[in-house]
Each structure stands twice: as structure tokens, then as C-alpha cells.
Amino acid sequence: MNTKCGNRRCVIDVETTNDQWTGQLVCIGILNIDSENQEIQSFTGSYEEMVLKNFLRYFNNNQFDEIIGYNLCWDIRVVLSRCMKYRLRADAIYRARCTDLMMILKGFGKGYNYNEVGSLDMWSKFLGGPGKIKTEASIEDLYKMGRWSEIIEYNIRDLKLTYDLWDRLNIVIGRQNQ
């Protein structure tokens, strides 16, 4: 476990009902890499502003300075756009170092290219993992039906798959995770 100040890492995944502009932010999941037992928190609800406030409080209390994700640029853009909408301070997220595994794998550390990078589901299955949870309904439908536990389960699986991909990538490139 890494508890040094200035090196607090987390994995983030966001679930919305649609795109950034018309969708509802319904879940922000965060896996605290440096906590004992890699604690996972899910922030959900019908009120975006409250979801954001609870997430920001947790993020700030843990003083994370690195955020890891798959297609993380999209997740961060959703969070920051909603913070702008509600005038919520998110300077710690803005300042955090972002490690977007999709972009790293797109160029495999050597620069961006136009080859298909593959989805988180494809990478997980390729590496012998379980892949993403297949739901009978979209996140938007689950939200409309109030099936919060399924949204959270879906989000938690994505967090774990992202962490596993990050861990495997660090082994390959020789970067220490601990």
C-alpha cells in the first residue's frame, strides 16, 4: 500500500444515461488503489448535484493526485462539465494527473495513432478476464426503472477491469504499482 503524500491514486468510472450534453449523470465509481483492501465507493442518485457533492467530498478527503481510467478523458469531461453546471469547485480533480489507459493503448506509449484500440471489454477478455457485465437494459433504462444495484454492480465491474488492465500494463512497461 502506498500512503506517501503526493502519490494517492484512484480509478474512476462514470455512468450516464446518454451523452455528455443530454444525459443524466447517475453513478460515479471510485476505487481507492492505495487504501487497505482497495476500497470501492459508488456515488449514485437521481440528483446529479448531490452525486457530485458526495463524490467531490470523498475525492478531496482522500487527496488523490492521480486518476486512472479507461476513456478517462470522457469521464473527467462529464464530471467537470457537471461541476461547471452546478458551480461546484473541482480544482483537485482538475489538477490531478490523469492516466487514460485507452489513450496509452492507442499508441502503446509511443504516441497516438489511428488503429482501433479495443474496448475495455475486449481487453479484459483478451487478457483472460471476465469482461464487462452484460445487462438486459441500457444504463438509461436501468435508471428509469430505479434499478440502482444493477448500475452499481456494472460500474464496480468496470472499476475492477480497469484496475486489472492498469496493473497488467504496469507489469509490461516495468512501472512499479506499489
Q: Check if the beta carbon of residue 33 is closer than 8 Å to that of residue 10.
A: yes
Cell digits for 97? 494527473
Over pLDDT 70: what percentage of the chain?
A: 90
pLDDT (0 to 100) of residue 120: 94
**Per-residue model confidence as pLDDT tens digits over 109-163:** 455 556 677 899 999 999 999 999 998 899 999 999 999 999 999 999 999 999 9
Q: What is the pTM of this model?
A: 0.89
Question: How far apart, in Å, are the Cα atoms of 149 and each of 67, 152, 167?
Answer: 24, 5, 27
Q: Could you tell me the residue ranges of all domains in the chain?
A: 9-173
Q: Is domain 9-173 annotated with CATH 3.30.420.10? A: yes
- CA–CA separation, 112 and 131 (whole Å): 25
| Backbone dihedral region for residue 113 (phi beyond 0: left; psi -120 to 50: alpha; all else: beta) | beta
Instruction: Residue 10: name the closest of 151, 154, 163, 112 by CA.
Output: 163
**Per-residue model confidence as pLDDT tens digits over 54-85:** 999 999 999 999 999 999 999 999 999 999 99
Give the confidence band of 103 by pLDDT, cuts at 50, 70, 90. Answer: confident
- CA–CA separation, 85 and 41 (whole Å): 23
